[in-house]
Structure 1
Amino acid sequence: MQRSAVVAVDEYRWSTDTVTLECITDDEEEAVGWKYREGTDTEVGTGGTVPVSLSFYTPTTFRFEFAANPDAGATETLNEFDEEAIIEPVDLTVEADEGVLRIDTDALRVTVGLDAWSFAVTTSDGRTVFEEQREDIDVHGDLRVDPLGYTTVERNNGPNRVTNTGTAFTLAPDEHVYGFGEKFTGFDKRGQRIESWHVEALGTETERSYKNVPFHLSTRGYGMLVDTTNRVEYDVGNTSTASGTVEVSDDTFSFVFFYGPSFKAIIEEYTALTGRVTRPPKWSFGVWMSRLGYESREHLESITARLREEEIPCDVVHLDPFWMREFHSCDLEWDIDQFPDPESMIAGLHEEGFHLSLWEHPYVPTGTDAFETARENGYFVTDATGKPYVMDNLCQGDYAGAIVDFSNPDAVDWWQEKTRELVEMGVDVFKTDYGEGIPEDAVFANGRTGASMHNYYPFLYNRTVYEAIADVNGSDEALVWGRSAWTGNQRFPMYWGGDAQPSFNGMHSALRGGLSVSLTGFPFWSHDIGGFRGTPSTETYIRWVQFGLLSSHSRCHGTTPREPWAFGEEAVRVFKKFATLRYRLISYLYSYAETACRTGLPVVRPLVLEYTDDPTTYNLDTQYLLGEELLVAPVFRETGDVDVYLPEGEWVDYWSAERYTGGQTLHRTVPLDEIPLFVRAGSILPLHESSQTVQEGSPDEATLRVTPVSTGETRATFDFYDEDRDRVVSLECDIDADGEAIDLSVEDPNATPSFVADVVDIDHPPTTLRVNGEDLRAVDADPARGEWTYDATDRTVRAVL
């Protein structure tokens, strides 16, 4: 095995938005008499070169591509990017001076060493954002990490072949790194080795993961997306604290570089390129009830009957593999012995306000009619001989099966037709389980092997199912509940975190994984409330319920019962308390879902996303923001002890209304029926009446809880999604420093909901209260539209807008 590095530039050329560099590597340097070329006049040395190209999409975003095997051409990407969504005019200035090439846009300067290769990205004010590492040496003068280059391996005692390409980059002493998909290890990835390669993770406590996305964010103000579907390996300061490395198992190394400098700006640009999410159906934000599993129609209907009897809000029930016949998962056909007359069963569920989710995986067991159909028609991934790639222990139930080849349009049509039949029957959503098991030597209909299809397969799998549902129900009602994912999978919502242990450690790792994937373009994610395999303690279950019901989506699931009554009366009481809160927040969550569609920003947010300049947030993975207005700190100890960090600003305890100044850590012992929940002062929080199921359409009435800051002027805003009119309504509230004047504004006075504003923590009645510039009339109690009242006991002004 030999490593070759780029050492200099032989020539360069440029066009309006692209610079191409023909580079010399150290294994060619002795054989080539080279010089760099300015323009096209300088003599070029004889011998081979390797190309590096820089293509600018915008002044702050560019694509870097290094092809180590140029005669074969660069590897064609499988990732589906929408370059047109981000392209802007770029005015490049390219100048060379004293062996250095400077490529300038309005926002960035890329500097390339010509005589001796170097690569750096700086801002217009000279701050280094990214720099290739070539100075990390040990006491012998040897490099600790490999700079830009490629690795060749001898094959069969003879020819050499390029197997890997990659580079090294500097890590600043105060730099922090996030992302890489759903990673269950420490939230800040500095110091870790990371592999972007899907595996059956068998839990959520290791580096192994189901959702790998080769995209990371740095507190230096940049994001990097490696454009490949092959295996990617990172060393983020593990071998050397001064350096990071990225290696791709391919002869082409390509990445897209995004400069923000804010994380929000980077995520918006990144998701515009890789694909924005479609807003999930509103009912999906209700409670999902599931376990492994409800084994018959009678069993399922007993669960739904008790949910309604106990008045536990719930919108979705899920059937795991038992809806299919034994040894037939996954042929997508009902076991009508266990689930007789499924059409009437589904109709009954719908009448009771339940949506139905069915489990599936993309593997078809041998010995079934579906297997024979797929084999005869070539719908399976094959081995090198062209036969179906049959493996034992592939399917649910530990029996042999083959893998549906979603690169084959005919196989896609076949699977989608089976899916559409179920959707037409009334099935609402599919849990698209698995998808991580593609062998590297498998062969696909598109000519690719598993080496490049392994990571990409979940994209094809989830898209196939998602589009089949959309064909029948429309895109507004399309949804999957997926486990495996790659770059761009966020386009097909949504995903859950796999098989967490039923413990506080499992609960914490589920949160870490969710926060990590939220920074890689996935705005919606969930987890198994209670953990997956085994039975959680009552305390763990209740604490997980609180966390789960204050997540983007909420599903109870595990190998043993996860219905609240299985854990006693107190669990039922707490479950109902937090389910009621969740359903009061549906308009809030749905408004942030609309924001996610437009920006790619997540509903559940790590604090570092909103408070990137606050060093305390850099490693904070035990709490999160739900939207921007609510701060949630799950409890991970049976004792109820929890530390809560409040970032800058002012925060109000949701339960007690006590106020706290930001920039401090609170040490709390929390009763079992509470979770630390804080409202950001200077905010508007929309609430409405709870219900047993999510109500479609805009609420008839929404209460706007306005929380002013305690001192100084308040300006609070919120973008409310008016579902009936399919538009965002901007809400504003301005309060002067003395609380004498309150000015409320509704951008669209004809918005569907009737808004009631509760302005809390007001010491005295205001002198004036205006809505859209018009004075409202003060009354003693029970205000009607155009009136307001003041409650001295609650210190609250209520105005009916």
Structure 2
Amino acid sequence: PYGYTLWENIQAALDRRFKETGHVNAYFPLLIPMSFLQKEAEHVAGFGERFDRLDHRGTSLDSVVFEQYKSQGAVRRTYMPMPFAHVVGGSGWGFHVDTSRRVWFDVGEADADRLTIEAETASPFDAVTAILVRTFEGSPTAVLDAFLERAGRPEELPQWVLRLWASGNEWNTQAEIERQAALHEKHEIPVGSIVVEAWSDESMFTVWRDAQYTFREDGGPLRLEDFTFSPDGAWPDPKAMVDALHDANIHLLLWQIPLMKMRPHPQGQAKRDAEVAMREGYLIRTQHPDGSLRPYRNRGWWFPLSLMPDLSDEKAAHWWTEKRRYLVEQMGVDGFKTDGGEHAWGSDLVYLDGRTGAEANNLNPVAYAKAYGDLMRRCGKAPVTFSRAGFTGSQAHGTFWAGDENSTWDAFRWSMWAGLNAAASGIVYWGWDIAGFSGPVPDAELYVRAFAASAFVPIMQYHSEFNHHRTPSRDRTPWNIAELSDDASVIDEVREIVALRERLLPYIAEQAKKAVDTSRPLMRPLFFDHADDQAVWSAPPEWTLGDDVLVAPVLAPGDSWDVYVPRGDWRDAWTGELVEGGQTVTTHTPRHRVPVYVRASAWDRLGPLFPSTT
């Protein structure tokens, strides 16, 4: 780090001297000899949400927001990259390539003696610096804190986000939402939030399906009193539904996509909104061969040819989000699932401030979550958003989940790695679709094992994809899994897991606040507290939930699992048995329990929260 600071100063001085002679200094990809890294460290971790491993040495990767539908760990793509990493060992340091453009990293794959960083640039010939690589020295916490000082710090969210979230893509009527909430109550499995994806007409994502209203020619926001809800419709009284959920201490989030559908050709309010967006200049554009700028049409397979508002523009973001104000201010909606932030594709895009897609596409999901968070603040509510896409700067905006995955043991393991890399990059409120959301439902063992792990992950959420209402249902509810697996004990086991989570809430909320205040991750990779312990890198995914709870999920069938217990004095959470750290122990746990150890100094406080097996 010291050497690189000296190089930056030398570079600046030489640039000035070159230009005084009328010459231009050439820039090349930044090459850092791995021999230097080896003197100080052996491990490189971070790079945003990465699914295949924690230590990225010996691999190559890039930082571009990518729509990878499932199998992220196999193909090594991610919705939430960041050009930031920790270099762990020795005195310790880290680096951030301070650009929103695409960056490539070869972390000793092509040449074991070299870390290579290559970045897209568009620097003018007289630029002093083509690309800026910032370095930070110290412990992993110090490195992360210095990075967050520039990237943006996370914000503490209300405790309810730490309770169980429930969701299913086929929960697309008021009756079904009320039925699922009642089933949670019947089975004594408390739920803190319900996320409704299929609620809107899916033309504008602002109006409840089947609602009747008079179109606004000016594309302005509608109010609750503008709508009539049919008693025979999908949502006969959504305001009463929200109120009833609140009375049951359940919060509601609604799904969003930052697009304006143009297929089929929009009608009614959607047509008027598209006309206003084009006329007022609220849209991201593309530059055509004749030099003209025309509205960008989504190039993805999902909602193809849709228009996209530029939510990085204050005026456009305000117009877009104010159309949703009535949902928050009058109906009481508590947040938004800000899905689909990865739809800005192509370097030829032109944003309203003149930036190209090469500069701004990675930042699009950051602006998207910020715009919705700002709406929540304007309405006097916490800025709760739930995103899968992100980049540098996302740390300051809401909660996240790991994207779509199949219900497999591989996906379970990949998701745990993703959570650890996201946490190492400054994401506090992170979760995944418990046991996967796609494909055939998980068997009882995978489902309960994943649920047990989720009790020790910041965001605890189950979800299932749309299956055209075919039978049998593919809902990931405990009662559906119990029925399909012919195993009624699933419900009892999930009830115990969620009850434990409820008891842990004060501790988790306290540790979340500490993570926000100190930059020590809530879902903390072991290297943060044990940077000089080589054994933490060879263990399967493990973490401490805050300061005092060590978690080692079982990521394969069976009840036997080897756990590395780092240095310190610990107690087995389930038996109270003292365990000396610095060793690998073989554990045997029933499927609804995770190998968990409580720091001995915190046992009197936390031990009573865990049901004893003795």
TM (normalized to structure 2)?
0.84
Alignment of 1:281-680 (within 5 A): 281-320=158-197, 322-325=198-201, 327-328=202-203, 330-336=204-210, 337-366=233-262, 367=266, 368-369=270-271, 370-384=273-287, 385-391=292-298, 393=300, 395=302, 398-424=303-329, 425-439=331-345, 440-474=347-381, 477-534=382-439, 535-559=441-465, 560-568=474-482, 569-680=488-599
1:574 and 1:472, CA in 2 relative to 1: closer, same or farther beyond 3 A? Answer: same
> Where does residue 601 of structure 2 map in the other structure?
682
Structure with more relative contact order (C-alpha pairs < 8 Å, separation 6 or more):
2
CA distance, structure 2, for counterparts of residue 191 and residue 664 of structure 1: 26
Distance 1:310 1:186 in 2: 37
Separation of aligned partners in 2, 1:536 and 1:316: 23
State whether residues 286 and 315 of structure 1, in contact with CA within 8 Å, keep that contact through their aligned partners in structure 2: yes
The amino acid that maps onto 1:371 is: A
Deviations 1:395-447 (A, max 9, x none): 4xx45311111133221111120232211121101011111121221111110
Match of 2:77 in 1: 208
Q: Which has the higher strand share?
A: 1
1:641-690 CA deviation, whole Å, 9 max, x = no partner? 21111111222111111222111111223222322111112225645xxx
Q: Distance in 2 between matches of 1:655 and 1:249?
A: 52
Partner-residue secondary structure (3-state), 1:404: coil
Give yes or no for contact 1:607–1:620 (8 Å, CA) kept in 2. no
TM superposition shift of 1:373: 2.9
* Superposition deviation, residue 518 in structure 1: 0.7
Matched, 1:187 2:54: yes
Per the TM alignment, residue 331 of structure 1 is displaced from its structure 2 partner at its CA by 3.2
Give the aligned residue type for 2:280. N
Counterpart for residue 469 of structure 2? none
Task: Give the 3-state SS of the residue equivalent to 1:241 in structure 2.
Answer: coil
Residue in structure 2 matched with residue 782 of structure 1 by the alignment: none
Matches of 1:589 and 1:403, distance apart in 2: 38
Letter in 2 for 1:209: T
Contact 1:175 1:218 in 2 (8 A): yes
- For 1:219, which of 70, 76, 88 is the aligned residue? 88
Name the structure 1 match of 2:145.
268
Equivalent residues in 2 for 1:13-32, closer than 5 Å: 20-23=12-15
Give me the whole-angstrom Cα distance separating, in 2, the residues matched to 1:706 and 1:538.
25
Partner residue of 2:111 out of 240, 251, 257: 240
**Kept in 2: contact 1:277–1:491 (CA 8 A):** yes
- The answer to whether the 8 Å contact 1:358/1:429 transfers is yes
SS in 1 for 2:390: coil
Code of the residue aligned with 1:168 in structure 2: it is I
Matched, 1:249 2:120: yes
Residues 1:400 and 1:660: Cα distance change in structure 2 (over 3 Å): same
2:312, 2:368 within 8 Å by CA — same for their partners in 1?
no
The 2-side partners of 1:19 and 1:166 are apart by 13
1:168 aligns with 2:32: yes
Secondary structure of 2:316's counterpart equals: helix
How much does 1:361 deviate? 1.3
Counterpart-to-counterpart distance in 1, 2:396 and 2:594: 32
Shift of 1:12: 11
Higher mean C-alpha deviation, range 226-235 or range 173-182: 173-182
Contact 1:530–1:557 (CA under 8 A) maintained in structure 2: no
Task: State the Cα deviation string for residues 356-402 of structure 1 (Å, max 9, x = none).
Answer: 0111111110113333332232221112132211236554xx45311
2:306 aligned counterpart, secondary structure: strand
Aligned equivalents of 2:7, 2:181: Cα separation in 1: 68
Counterpart residue identity of residue 563, structure 1: T
Distance of 1:298 and 1:45 partners within structure 2: 74
SS in 2 for 1:567: helix
Q: Can you give the 5+ residue segments of structure 2 that lack an aligned partner in the other structure? A: 1-5, 124-129, 211-232, 466-473, 483-487
8 Å Cα contact 1:394-1:401 kept in structure 2: no
Question: Whose radius of gyration is greater, 1 or 2?
Answer: 1
Secondary structure class of the residue paired with 2:54: coil
Amino acid at match of 1:324: S
Provide the residue aligned with 2:218 in structure 1: none
Which residue of the partner structure matches residue 766 of structure 1?
A: none
- The match for 1:788 is none
The CA distance in 2 between the partners of 1:619 and 1:189, in whole Å, is: 13
Distance 1:468 1:259, change over 3 A: same
Distance in 1 separating the partners of 2:394 and 2:169: 26
Mapping of residues 115-194 of structure 1, within 5 Å: 149-150=27-28, 165-171=29-35, 172-173=37-38, 175-194=42-61
Deviation, 1:583, is 0.8
**Amino acid across the alignment from 1:566:** N
Classify the secondary structure of the residue corresponding to 2:457. Answer: coil
The answer to whether the 8 A contact 1:22-1:49 is kept is no
- The count of corresponding residues between Structure 1 and Structure 2 is 544
TM-superposed CA distance for 1:619, in Å, is 3.8
Q: Is the contact made by 2:193 and 2:253 (CA closer than 8 Å) also made in structure 1?
A: yes
| Distance in 1, Cα, partners of 2:548 & 2:590 | 23
How far, CA to CA, are the matches of 1:656 and 1:680 in structure 2?
Answer: 13
**Residue 349 of structure 1: how far off its partner (Å):** 1.3
TM norm structure 1? 0.65
Q: Give runs of aligned pairs for residues 660-739 of structure 1, distance below 5 A.
A: 660-683=579-602, 686=605
Tell me how far apart the structure 2 counterparts of residues 706 and 202 of structure 1 sit (CA, whole Å): 38
The residue matched to 1:213 in structure 2 has which SS?
A: strand
Amino acid at match of 2:82: V
Q: Could you tell me how far apart the structure 2 residues matched to 1:46 and 1:503 are? A: 63
Q: Closer, same or farther in 2 for the Cα pair 1:706/1:22, shift >3 Å?
A: same
- Give the aligned partner of residue 139 of structure 1: none
Cα displacement (A) at 1:621 = 4.0
Given candidates 64, 67, 73, the residue that maps to 1:197 is 64
Conserved? CA contact 2:571–2:603, under 8 Å: no
What is the CA distance between 1:341 and its match in structure 2?
A: 2.2
